[in-house]
Chains A and B, each alone.
Chain A
Amino acid sequence: MEDNILEIINLSRSYGKFKLSDVNIVLPRGYIMGFVGANGAGKTTTIKLIMNMIRRDSGEINVFGKDNIKYEMQIKDKIGYVSEQPVFYDDLTVDWTAHFAKKFYSNWDDTIFTGLLKRFNIDKTKKINQLSKGMKMKTALALALSHRPELLILDEPTSGLDPIVRDELLEILMEFIQDEKRGVFFSSHITSDIEKIADYVTLIDNGEIVLSEEKEDILNRWKLVRGDHRELKGLKEDLIGLRLSKTYFEALIKDIDAFEKKHDTSSLVVDTANLDDILLHLARREN
Chain B
Amino acid sequence: MFIPISNSDPRPLYEQISEGIKNKILKGELLPGDALPSIRQLAQDLKISVITTKRAYFELEQQKLIITRPGKGSFIANYDVNEMASLNLLEIEHQIKGVVAYAKRTGVLRKDLEDIFYKILKEEY
Contact = CB atoms under 8 A, between A and B. Distances in A.
B111 interface: no
Interface residues of B, number: 15
Given A216-B52, A216-B55, A220-B12, A180 B47 contact: no
Interface stretch (B27-35, B36-44, B78-86, B91-99): B36-44
A236 B41 CA distance: 44
A225 to B, nearest CB: 15
A178 B51 contact: no
B48 interface: yes
B48 A197 contact: yes
B49 A32 contact: yes
A interface, how many residues as a size bin?
Answer: 20 to 34
Given A180-B40, A216-B13, A216-B14, A174 B47 contact: yes
A174 B48 CA distance: 9
A196 B45 CA distance: 12
Contacts, number: 45
Interface string A189-230: 000000011111000000000000011100110000000000
B47 A170 contact: yes
B10 A216 contact: no
B10 A198 contact: no
Given A177-B40, A178-B41, A220-B12, A214 B51 contact: yes
A287 to B, nearest CB: 30
Given A174-B44, A175-B44, A216-B55, A199 B10 contact: no
B44 A196 contact: no
B50 interface: yes
B49 A197 contact: yes
Contacts of A198: 49
B47 A178 contact: no
13 contacts: A32-B50, A171-B47, A174-B43, A177-B40, A177-B50, A180-B40, A196-B48, A199-B50, A199-B52, A215-B51, A216-B51, A219-B12, A272-B10
Of all A-B residue pairs in the complex, the 10 with the closest CB atoms, nearest first, are A174-B44, A199-B51, A199-B49, A178-B40, A199-B50, A197-B49, A214-B51, A196-B47, A198-B49, A220-B12
